[in-house]
Structure 1
Amino acid sequence: MSCTIVVEGEGSKNQARFQYEWKEEGVTINDSQNTCWRSLSVVLRSTSDSTGFSWPKNVEDSRLSIEIASNERHQIKSEDFGSPAAFRFVLDSLIAADHENGTVVTLIVPQSRAYIVRSDIIPLRLVDCPVVKIVRSFSEPHQLFEGGPVRLDSKSFPAAFAAAAGGLILQQSRGITIESLLRSLNVELSNRLSFPWLSTQVPKRKTLAVVEGGRYGPDNGGTGESIYAAAHALGIDMVVLDDAGHWLTDPRYAHWTKAFIPIDLPDQPDEKFPGQVIEALRAYDGPIDGIMTFYDCFKSSIAEVATRLSLPTASPEAYATATNKYKTSVFEGRKSYQASSVEEASKAVQEGDLEFPLIIKPCNGYLSEGVFRAENLPQMLADIQVINTERHGMEFVIEKYCDGPEVDANFVLCDGEVIFFEASDDFPKSADANGDGKFKSFIELANVLPSKLPKQEVATIRDSLHQSLLRMNLRDGFFHLEARMDNSALEYATQNNVLDLFERETPAKRAPAVWLIEINPRPPAIQVSQAVEHTYGIDYFGLSLLFAIDDKHRVRQLSHPFAQGAQYWCEIIFIPVEKGGVYQSGDVCAELFERRPDLAQSVSKCFCFLKKGAKVADPYEEGIGSWVAYFNVFSRESRLHVLEIAEEVKKEVRFSIV
């Protein structure tokens, strides 16, 4: 059945007419928790408009009606669509409709009485879907959907939108019929939404205190937008404790928090810090359901605060071991030494009969700053003096260097069970034995997911690191681990001008073994977290927030990856700063895409960290590592293809530091 929508533009006689027709092709999904949803699709076509028709300056002022007969119209009010977001989506869909192909719109409609577990779940799971042009959520946090069937008759148009959790405008292509497009969409929806994103459990709004609200704001490529957008979508109120003048106090971001409590945050906390946090919390007149931090150095202290306030947490001792690289190495049973001066380091090497090459790294370091591979004692002693002790403290670790392929291993543990795991390949750094680059450091250069290591090696990594976490008494939470696979069947090599993992030329003499480098009890940096979110459909920041308020029910619901696994191959490209000076260029991402628009279509996310005129620290002289930009490159064709595109991106990025 086809019906007509009439839009009144500027002036009562200024009208446009659109035909709409419901399509029966759709998909209905029942999940394991007795909640159900279905897709409904409608085709909109512009049929006629009066001469000089124009939309109102404020599009939301448009007046719509459904033409039932030649002289009978049924007026539609904006509130009939259920939400301002749904009404705006309808207007955008009509604006996009043309005479020939029209616009194909699909609605995701819950069919049983249930609450949405995260209000932006539809855009989150439809990210980078090849058949979707635009995706919007119509939902509010904790929204209850009554469910039930939706009638598809002449007057049902707004009611269908009011019943929907979100809407999609499909990507139409020449030569592809609407029927074929909808069949492709049904495959995608089954892959992306076949998990319990609806719940019969009545939600409760909770308040979470966060100590250290993010060092960098959205303007500087920080994680803030990901964290606070997730909190809003999950219906979590955020109370932030951080230094006065923090970027969250900017009026643009003030709505992200329920309260901001100023407190002096140290780089390295002491035994008084937990008491200071508790005292600061007394300034907040309201309940606190959980407390957390994304800053590794604060993890043990904030766990002590949570323990004293009877809030959900792992033990302070577990975090103290996990966030100290020396304690982690000793816990793993490795021959490691801790020192705080060149004299102590020299003595440790000589008395410990250590063989070079060795790794030196701060016990409480981050961003791979102060990490060196030393080939001999003089080099080691020179490298130690470069460690930025103000940022990372005096203590550092000395231990064997493992040259096996490095992986990032991300775990979601719930009651000790691995409910999500993924591994990606961390490509050689410039300081690795097989690395390349003028400045020898361990700053990230490239990361590719999923991992290419043999399945049995990935399984060994998962099982071994899982047991390490359990032995450390870390049973609930998100954990980002870095490890190497000693004696792997694969090694990095360049073949046909492409660097990747290939079968070793000389087989390993011993069985593969996992070498744990470090444990980060929080999500990885924004580049990696975004790459995983796009590749698997899982938001690490949102899960971390839920763990902090002990909402394991939603943790389990939101830890389901796409049914078919990774939707594509992805490489994260890090463009490092290799010398100090003044940055002379602009936004390298925008400049590249203007010059090479063909590369832009293969990049899901990117960001330029530097602005023209910025002073850049010398990574070797000042011990501070940084990046110019990053690009998350993807390919649905093959791993080789994504590596080739990424190499082209790296070659084409242009900037100057003088």
Structure 2
Amino acid sequence: LLTFILPYTDGYVVRSDFINVRLGALAGQRELQQFLKPLQYCRGPKADLNSNSLDDGTLMSLISSAAGVITSPFDYEFNLKDLEDGIAGRISYPWLSSTPITPRRVALFRGRPNHKTGFPVYAAAKNLGLSLVVIDEPGHWLQPDSDENRDLREAFIPIDITEDDGLPARIATAVAESHYHIDGIFTLSDNYLVSVARAAELMRLPTCPSSAYEVAYDKHQTRRLQAAPHEFASVNSSADLLSIIDSQAFLPTYPLIVKPRTRGWSSEYVTKVRDQAELEAIMAKICKKYPGGALIEPYYDGPELDVNIIVSSGKVLYTEIVDELPSNGDTSDGSSADFLESGVLIPSKLPRYEQDAICKQIADIIIPLGFTDGVFHTEVRLTRSSMAFQADPTTGLVDLAPASSEKADDEKEPAVRAHIVEINARPPGIFSQKLSAHTFGVDYFAARMLAAIADPARLALTSIPFSVSTMPPGAQCHSFMLFLPVLRPGVTDGEDVLNRVMERVPHIAERVVDSHCFFTKGDTLPDPSETVACFARVILASTEGREHVMGMADRVKREYFKD
């Protein structure tokens, strides 16, 4: 059976691969084909599609104007209405623009480390009709002017990327000397966000103020947005710590969190301490490795979340809350416990009124700061939430559940308070992006590029999630991203380990949306007692409910621990 996707009116395609992006989960035994080119003009049907007497010529005219086709096996269980409802719920936004879309060029500073992590960015640019120029250091894999690289980017501009005060001017000069007209510039690398914003200011390109990026990058300045001065401190030595404690400028209330003030990656060196001795020990390690020193802040024992927000002209277009399962640092009293993520779930299980309150609290902080356009990935801890992580007495699975027997009143003013842990003034990472795009249909990389070139119309359309009646608002499924830690030192089989696990659970393997092993065969794994590292990530999806996808993730984890 062939099901054709037809344009509903005349217009210019907003994104040429929208069929694969939005209908990918419908594939299964079906085959998807898309026929569109970037920025293509489409003509809507001239015939009455409700007529039962379309002649062959009219049918052929309609087919020739199709944006794509879905090929389905036909059997007695086939239900055309289910397929039509599935399509309508996923193509839930206008995919045609009534006005022509001007071809634009966007520059990406730091072109991603490899093809796999970069491809979603390059593909989004291409299908949005954006010419992509990559700016990076000489020798980057995208620099050679090969056929493969030309398919991913229009041009490559080599530059000295040393992180110093002269970098913004070097970027601006390199762009000017390249003779490429740039309509916008962006980066996905935390440590370059400030420099790229300053470069955009020099080139008078669309950007949020570099001063906002400075606050977001420096965790001390971020903490000042919410916490009282005596609740947190930044130190570079034990002498600094003792001085501020003696002067009562800092009043430590244990447990506390200690972490690098700037930089830091994947919760590296983030530590919960119970007393001053533990505080001084971890602080010395951080200050030795990180020139910016250590940040000491309160530990909030409520649920941890990611809050992703798309903003345009100071207005919130889209929000998403991601539930993070407790880490070892949450469940252990020992200071050696790490805060490496163990798993995240979407859609969130928090009550809708709490989700709305949390997103408003975050927006009310980041927008006045100057973040009026773009995608923002914030990490948040809650206090006074109506929900807490608890183990289910039957299944043993840990998930959010009511913190008390008192029934929540949606009409009452929410008591929940969101404490910002970090403001990442960029989209979430590649794997979180895949998780969100599969679950809600929103492509954060596309949104970031459209914000960079100041295209608010397409940015708004890109921010519209699914509308599947049988699923929670905005979602087409429940999804779980599982983090599998390195368990012991030694030489690894790499991807073969993950393959062996999946071979033992074939019924779960078919529910895997994406997986990635961070080590290749023959690599030496670090000692977990010295370095906390993630071995692999696995994204699972289910239309059968949150508990079902959690159960699958738990089974994969147990099989991995056996291997």
TM-score, normalisation: structure 1: 0.77
Aligned equivalent of 1:361: 259
Cα distance in 1, alignment partners of residues 428 and 73 from structure 2: 32
Equivalent residue in structure 2 for 1:504, among 400, 403, 410: 403
- Pairing of 1:360-379 with structure 2 (within 5 A): 360-364=258-262, 365-379=264-278
Please name the residue that 2:504 is paired with. 595
Write out aligned runs for 1:257-406 (5 A).
257-266=153-162, 269-334=163-228, 335-349=231-245, 351=248, 352-364=250-262, 365-387=264-286, 393-406=291-304
Q: Relative to structure 1, is the Cα distance of residues 318 and 311 closer, same or farther in structure 2, using a 3 angstrom cutoff?
A: same
Contact 1:369 1:387 in 2 (8 A): no
Distance 2:502 2:551 in 1: 17
From 377, 390, 400, the counterpart of 1:493? 390
Cα pair 2:486 2:535 within 8 Å, conserved: yes
Cα RMSD (Å): 2.5
Question: 2:288 & 2:200 partners in 1: Cα distance?
Answer: 29
Q: Is the 8 A contact 1:414 1:476 kept in 2?
A: yes
Letter in 2 for 1:603: V
1:209 aligned residue: 107
| Partners of 1:386 and 1:620 within 8 A in 2 | no
- Structure 2 Cα separation of the partners of residues 505 and 342 of structure 1: 42
Q: 1:559 aligns with which of 414, 438, 463?
A: 463
Shift of 1:276: 1.7
Counterparts of 2:58 and 2:510, CA distance in 1: 38
- Deviation of 1:618 after TM superposition, in Å, equals 4.2
1: CA distance, partners of 2:466 / 2:29: 16
Q: Distance in 2 between matches of 1:297 and 1:257?
A: 23
Shift of 1:627: 1.8
Please point out which of 517, 528, 541 is paired with 1:634.
Answer: 541
Question: Displacement of 1:653 after TM fit?
Answer: 2.3
Q: How much has 1:175 moved relative to structure 2?
A: 3.7
Could you tell me which of 152, 174, 182 is aligned with 1:256? 152
SS of 2:21 mapped into structure 1: helix
Distance of aligned partners of 1:388 and 1:598 in 2 relative to their CA distance in 1, 3 Å threshold: farther
**Contact 1:588 / 1:629 at 8 angstroms: preserved in 2?**
no
Q: Is the 8 A contact 2:302 2:385 kept in 1?
A: yes
Post-superposition offset of 1:575: 1.0
Partner of 1:135 in structure 2? 32
* Cα distance between partner residues in 1 of 2:534 and 2:69: 37
- Does the CA contact (< 8 Å) of 1:111 and 1:149 recur in 2? no
* Residue identity matched to 1:202: P
Quote how far apart the aligned CAs of 1:537 are. 0.7
Tell me the distance in 1 between the aligned counterparts of 2:252 and 2:302: 19
Secondary structure of the structure 1 residue equivalent to 2:322: strand
Query: Which secondary structure does the structure 2 equivalent of 1:249 belong to?
Result: coil
Question: Which secondary structure does the structure 1 equivalent of 2:2 belong to?
Answer: strand
Rate the CA distance shift 1:550–1:542 in 2: closer, same or farther, 3 A: same
Q: Deviations over 1:516-535 (max 9, x none)?
A: 11111111112211111011
Instruction: Determine the structure 2 residue equivalent to 1:442.
Output: 339
Return the match for 1:576 from 437, 462, 485.
Answer: 485
Task: Give 3-state SS (helix, strand or coil) of 1:126's partner.
Answer: helix
Paired letter, 2:514: K
Distance 1:397 1:388, change over 3 A: closer
Return the alpha-carbon distance in structure 2 between the equivalents of residues 436 and 108 of structure 1. 56
1:246 positional shift: 1.5
Distance 1:655 1:472, change over 3 A: farther
Displacement of 1:272 in angstroms is 1.5
Is the partner of 1:282 in helix, strand or coil? Answer: helix
Q: Distance in 1 between matches of 2:405 and 2:39?
A: 57
Q: 2:534 is aligned with what amino acid?
A: W
Q: Give how far 1:114 is off.
A: 0.4
Q: Secondary structure at the match of 1:283?
A: helix
Instruction: Identify if the C-alpha distance between structure 1 residues 386 and 578 changes in structure 2 by more than 3 Å, giving closer, same or farther.
Output: farther
Q: Distance in 1 between matches of 2:427 and 2:223?
A: 21
Larger radius of gyration: 1
What is the identity, as a one-letter code, of the residue corresponding to 2:506? Answer: P
Q: Is 254-263 or 515-524 further displaced after alignment? A: 254-263
For the 8 Å contact 1:261–1:283, the answer to whether it is kept is no
Q: Which segment drifts farther, 269-278 or 246-255?
A: 246-255
Deviation at 1:116, TM superposition (A): 0.5
* Structure 2: stretches of 5+ with no match in the other structure: 409-413, 469-473
Give the letter aligned to residue 90 of structure 2.
R
**1-structure distance, mates of 2:208, 2:366:** 11
2:65 match: 163
Residues 271-328 of structure 1: per-residue CA shift (max 9 Å, x gap)? 2111121222233122111111111221121111111111000101011101221110
**2: distance between equivalents of 1:169 and 1:125?**
16
Per-residue Cα deviation, 1:632-656 (whole angstroms, up to 9, x for no partner): 1112112111111110111122687
CA distance in 2, matches of 1:598, 1:132: 16
- Mapped pair 1:241 → 2:135: yes
Give the superposition deviation at 1:413: 0.8
Q: CA deviation at 1:581?
A: 4.0
| Inter-partner Cα distance in structure 2 for 1:633 and 1:436 | 31
Cα deviation for residue 476 of structure 1 reads 1.0
Taking the aligned partners of 1:528 and 1:385, their CA distance within structure 2 comes to 32
Q: In 2, distance between residues paired with 1:257 and 1:187?
A: 37
Equivalent residue runs for 1:511-590 within 5 Å: 511-564=415-468, 565-590=474-499
Residue-by-residue CA offset, 1:607-632 (whole Å, 9 max, x unaligned): 2221111133446635xx53211111
Amino acid at match of 1:588: V
1:448·1:571 contact (CA, 8 Å) conserved in 2? yes
- Report the alpha carbon displacement of residue 580 of structure 1 after superposing the two structures with TM: 4.4
Instruction: Confirm whether residue 412 of structure 1 aligns to residue 310 of structure 2.
Output: yes
Residue type of the alignment partner of 1:359: I
User: What amino acid sits opposite 1:259 in the alignment?
Assistant: A
1:303 aligned partner, one-letter code: A
Offset at 1:158? 5.7
CA distance in 2, matches of 1:171, 1:407: 41
In the alignment, is the contact (CA less than 8 A) between 1:110 and 1:164 conserved in 2? yes
1:176 aligns to what? 77
1:648 and 1:300 map into 2 onto residues whose CA distance is: 42
Query: What are the Cα deviations for residues 8-33 of structure 1, in whole angstroms up to 9, with x where unaligned?
Result: xxxxxxxxxxxxxxxxxxxxxxxxxx
Give distance in 1, aligned partners of 2:311 and 2:127.
22
2:119 aligned partner: 225
Give the equivalent residue in structure 2 for 1:606.
515
Cα deviations across residues 3-61 of structure 1 (Å, max 9, x unaligned)? xxxxxxxxxxxxxxxxxxxxxxxxxxxxxxxxxxxxxxxxxxxxxxxxxxxxxxxxxxx
Distance 1:184 1:157, change over 3 A: same
Distance (whole Å) between structure 2 residues aligned to residue 130 and residue 259 of structure 1: 34
For the 8 Å contact 1:439–1:578, the answer to whether it is kept is: no
**CA–CA distance in 2 between the matches of 1:130 and 1:286?**
40
How far apart are the structure 1 equivalents of 2:73 and 2:140?
41
Q: CA deviation at 1:346?
A: 4.3
- Equivalent pair of 2:184/2:453 in contact (CA under 8 Å): yes
Per-residue deviation at 1:482? Answer: 0.9
Q: Superposed, which structure 2 residues align to 1:428-439 within 5 Å?
A: 428-432=326-330, 434=331
1:112 touches 1:146 (CA, 8 Å); kept in 2? yes
Q: In 2, Cα distance between the equivalents of 1:438 and 1:330?
A: 25
